[in-house]
Each structure stands twice: as structure tokens, then as C-alpha cells.
Chain A
Amino acid sequence: MKKTPLYQWHIDNGAKMAEFAGYSMPLWYPQGARTEHISVIEHAGLFDTSHMAVLLIQGDGAHQLLQLAFSKDLDRCLGLKKTPLVQGRSVYGVFLNERGHVIDDAIVTRQAESLYTVVVNAGMGGTISDHLRQLPTVAPVEVVDLSDKLGKIDIQGPASADILGRLLQDPAGVYTGFPYFSSKGWFDLSQPKSVLLADGTPILLSRTGYTGEFGFEIFLEPRHLEKVWGALLEEGGDRICPCGLASRDSLRAGAMLPLSHQDIGGWPFKANPWQFALPVDERGVFTKRFIGAEALLHTEKVQFTFPFAGFDPRKIVPGENTAVLDGEGRKVGSILTCATDMAIGRAGERIVSLATAVTDGRPEDFKAKGLCCGFVMVSEKFSPGAQLFLTDGKRKIPIEIREEIRPDRTARRTMREMFHN
């Protein structure tokens, strides 16, 4: 099994470890996944995400190659006016095969005129590199797989900018003009743009993450990883805690973010909550040709993927005998993800979060007991509010199809709101 450079730190600090995509990763630390989940909602959490893979796509043919392989239209993707992807900005999308099935999802960032970073999932660096290298190109393009050659730390939660700011050489400068889904700096000194820590360490800093909360992903050379990890924990004090994959999963489920190869995967990328990853105009017409487009246009029989939430923390973990039932007990589909978002609970008809203001409806004595949530794939179209059941053959728990799961998420807040120095 592969290890990240922080493996020994995880062991020394009492993490419960488990295999994930070929890597030995922390599930949680001694404080437990609930504390970790809530720390990200209220303050901050630190995740070792060095298992994820980064690719560099560079050269005159880079743009055209991504236009062919990646689902977003890089010429029409930013903001309401759908302007082109400019330097320093990022987009989320998927790589599809000819059948319209998902090979993997990715965040693509334009780092320079002809240089893009593509961040894919753990273990997928080789697969996506090979896929891209066998595609036709109009001009020279180089695909570099940086799997296991970069370290990555995610700092997530409303206190992230304050904590990271204490380590930056020029926090005010870095934090100016730094919207959601943008990126600054580089992970070494080879590019003429830099975000430096006070001790001179270069980092590639990205306003992205996988929790639905405000924060950053930090890419850096592996030799700096342990030092920066330790410094962030020290600067954060009791406002930060190291977080494992369990809280990463429960946070992303509540934020309705898909897990590749579980919520999206070897079936057509249609009728799911992530259609914004496709290059459609206001009439729903594809604005470019890309791999998988034809298949999506001609696939008629599809399953529908919907977010759901339960009424208490009970869940049914997807397995052999699990299914989704309708009110009459007929099997209508399967469970993709079922996790417990531990920061939320029901207040009458509504779901409220620990982050919900009392003036916005959080009861003063609210105690977050958690709600099960995730995604189901079903054969019929259900509207928000529709009640279904999850079963494992023995137990049966009620769920509700939702448009939103955890309210009052902070990911899209502005730097001005979130940085207080």
C-alpha cells in the first residue's frame, strides 16, 4: 500500500488508518470524526490529501486537448456571461469515455497561457494521463503525471484564511482578488508567480476543496509537507484539528459533492445533480464537441440521481442487499452514498446547521444530532420532498429527496467576509 509523506505523523498521532484507492490514509484521529466534522463547520480542519493526483498539460495543443477530453467548455465557462477560462481560474468537470461514462472528475486550472493543472482522484493520474496521451492533438502538448511527486494539504472551514494568513509572507496581497475557484502561486520557483510562506516556501494555493466550506487546497513539494502541516496546526491552536477521510466524506455528502466512482462512474453522465459540469447554453445545447457528447445526446433510458436526507442519523451503508423502496415497498433504485452529516438536524420541516444563524431559524437550544444523507440512483423521476425508504433487507429507514442538504455552507463567501486581519 502507498503512503503519503505524512503517514508517520498520522500513526504517531493515533489515527485510525484504512486503505483508500491504494493508499494508507487516516479515517479519523483520537478526537473522532464528529469533532472533526464540526470543527470544519465552526472553525477549521486540516486534511492530508497528498493521495490525489496532479497532471500538468502544457504546450500549444493543451487548450484543444482539454476541449476535446474535458466536459467544461473552456471558452465559455466563467460567471453568468460564460466568459473564457482566464489565467488563475479553475473549473470543475468530468472526463467521459465515448459511451458518456465518467472516467474521473477533475478540477482544471489555467495556470498560464498554455499551461493547465488537472487535479484528479487518488490513483487516477496514470489512467487520465494515458487517456489524454492517446488523443489526437493539433499542436504539441505534453502531459506530465505528478502523482506522488507533490504534497497536498486542504485547510477548510471559516477560520482557514486567518490561520493560513499567519504563515503567508504577504497575506493581504495574496488574499486580494482571490475569488472562489481561483488559484495563485506555484509549488516550486519555476514559474514567475509566487505565493510564499514567511520562511520562503513556495506554494500553489487554490480556493477550492471538498467540504462545501470556505478554504484552500495547498500544493507543495513533499519535503515541505510535514513542516507546513505542523505550522498550520500550531497557528490554528484550538481552532483547527487534523481531519480524516470519514469527516471528509460526511462533509462532502452534506455539501452534495459527488465521489468519483461511487456517485458518478461507469454509466451515462445524465440526470444527476452535476449537469453544470456539461457545456450547455441557455437552450440546453452543447456549445462544443467533446468525447462522450454524442453518447449523452443519444442515451434515452437513464437512471436519475438525487440527493436525499433522512430524519435521524440512521443510515444504510450501500451493500449487496441494500435498495431504495417507494411508499408501496417496490424497489425503485440503489444507494450510491449514505453518510451522516453531523452538523445538521431537523427543526420542524426544515434542516438547519450549526452554522445557521438563530435569526435564520436555528432554535437556540439546537443540538446537532446529525442526519443521514447522500445520493440515490432511481428509475423514476421524484420531486424534492418525495419520501422513499432505504433498506438492507432487515432495517428500513425513511428518507426525503432534497434540493439542498446542509444549509449555510461557506465555500463561496468572499475573502473580505472571511479574513479579519
Chain B
Amino acid sequence: MKELDEIKLPDDLLYTRDHEWAKLVGDEVLVGITDYAQDQLGDIVFVEMPEEGDSFGAGEEFGTLESVKAVSELYIPLSGEVVAVNEELDDAPELINKDPYSAWIIKVKPDDPEELEDLLDHDAYLKLLEGE
């Protein structure tokens, strides 16, 4: 298991208390899970993703991750419509373990980009991890 100082946490991402990350690219937001989450889950063997066009409210469950030991819910960091899912993960869910920040899971068109301000920045998320 990784020590806290081995967990990769890019500065330019926003984070949730449920260990998802969000990144604004143009007017869309990429969503994935953090290095901490993938390390805790262990090998990911299946990703159950929503359909393109599905809409969710902030904090709602949008899919599940199957790891070797558990099934974990995925929660969307902000309200919006799913405009793309990462189909590469269908065949290679292990990409999330290899590089959780390249392996985005869904791309969201936010209802209200200002909701991004409710998410944690690098330092706030690190503080959360230090408390776990």
C-alpha cells in the first residue's frame, strides 16, 4: 500500500470527499478517481459506466467500479450531462490502476460551472487524506 507521500495528486485538479477528481477542459469536465482511491481498491476489473446523455445531480451515483475485493460506487462531482464515457476502460479497466489521471471515466457538460468552486483543491484534499 502506498504511503501518503507516494500518492500522486496533481495541482491542477479538483477533488471530492469521495475520492473522485475533476478537471475543466474547455467547457467540459473530465471525471476520474484519485491515486489514493485506486491504491485502496486494488486491481480494478470492471467499470460500469452510464450512457452518454444521462444527467446527474452533484453527488449522485453515476456508475460502479469493481475491484478484486469490493464494488464501489462512483459519485459525480458536479451536476450535468454525460457527453462521453471512456470506452477504453471496457477492455482495459486496469488503465485506472496504471494512471488514474489519464484514465478519465466520464466527460460531463456541467449545468453550472460554478459548482466547481465547491470541490476541494490539492491542499484541502491532501488534508482530508491525512485525516483518514
Among B68, B71, B94, chain A packs the most CB atoms within 10 A around the CB of B68
A42 within 8 A of B: no
B116 within 8 A of A: no
Measured between beta carbons, the chain A residues less than 8 angstroms from B69 are 27, 33, 246, 317
Contacts of B94 in A (CB 8 A): 34
Given contacts A16-B42, A32-B43, contact A250 B68 (CB under 8 A): yes
Q: A27 to chain B: which residues have CB within 8 Å?
A: 42, 69
Is A370 an interface position by the 8 A CB rule? yes
Tell whether, in the assembled complex, residue B1 and residue A14 are in contact, meaning their CB atoms are under 8 Å apart. Answer: yes
Q: Contacts A34-B45, A313-B46, A370-B45 hold; do A340 and B64 have CB atoms under 8 A apart?
A: no
1/0 per position for B16-60, CB-CB distance to A under 8 A?
A: 000000000000000000000000001101101000000000000
In the complex, per-residue mask of B104-129: 1 if CB is within 8 Å of any chain A CB, else 0: 00000000000000000000000000
A316–B71 CB distance below 8 A = yes
Q: Is the CB of B68 within 8 A of A340?
A: yes
The answer for the CA separation of A340 and B44 in the assembled complex, in Å, is 11
- Take A28-B68, A246-B68, A250-B68 as given contacts and tell me if A313 and B42 are in contact as well, using a CB distance cutoff of 8 Å: no
Does A60 have its Cβ within 8 Å of any Cβ on chain B? no
Q: A108 an interface residue at 8 Å Cβ cutoff?
A: no
| A369: interface (CB < 8 Å) | yes
Q: Do A16 and B46 have beta carbons less than 8 Å apart?
A: no
Report B78-114 residues with CB < 8 Å from chain A CB. 91, 94, 97
Residues of B within 8 A of A395 (CB): 48, 64, 71
CA distance A8 to B82 in the complex (A): 46
A255 CB within 8 Å of chain B: no
A342 on interface, CB distance cutoff 8 Å: yes
Cβ-based interface call for B4 (8 A): no
Given A313-B45, A313-B46, A370-B45, verify A33-B1 contact (CB < 8 Å): no
A352 → B minimal CB distance (Å)? 17
Q: Flag if B42 contacts A317 (CB, 8 Å).
A: no
Q: With A and B bound together, what is the CA distance between A339 and B97 in angstroms? A: 19
Question: A315 on the interface (CB 8 Å rule)?
Answer: yes
**Cβ-based interface call for A69 (8 A):** no
The answer to whether A17 has its CB under 8 Å from any CB of chain B is yes
Q: How far is the CB of B129 from chain A (nearest CB, A)?
A: 16
CA distance A308 to B68 in the complex (A): 17
State whether A314 touches B46 (Cβ < 8 A): yes
State whether A312 touches B46 (Cβ < 8 A).
Answer: yes
Pick the residue among B1, B43, B71 that contacts A315 (CB under 8 A): B71
A15, CB-defined interface residue at 8 Å? yes
The answer to whether B45 touches A369 (Cβ under 8 A) is yes
A150 to chain B, nearest CB (A): 28
**8 sampled A-B residue pairs with Cβ under 8 A:** A16-B1, A28-B42, A28-B43, A32-B97, A35-B43, A315-B66, A340-B68, A395-B64
Q: Top 6 closest A-B pairs, CB basis? A: A313-B45, A33-B68, A34-B43, A313-B46, A32-B43, A16-B1
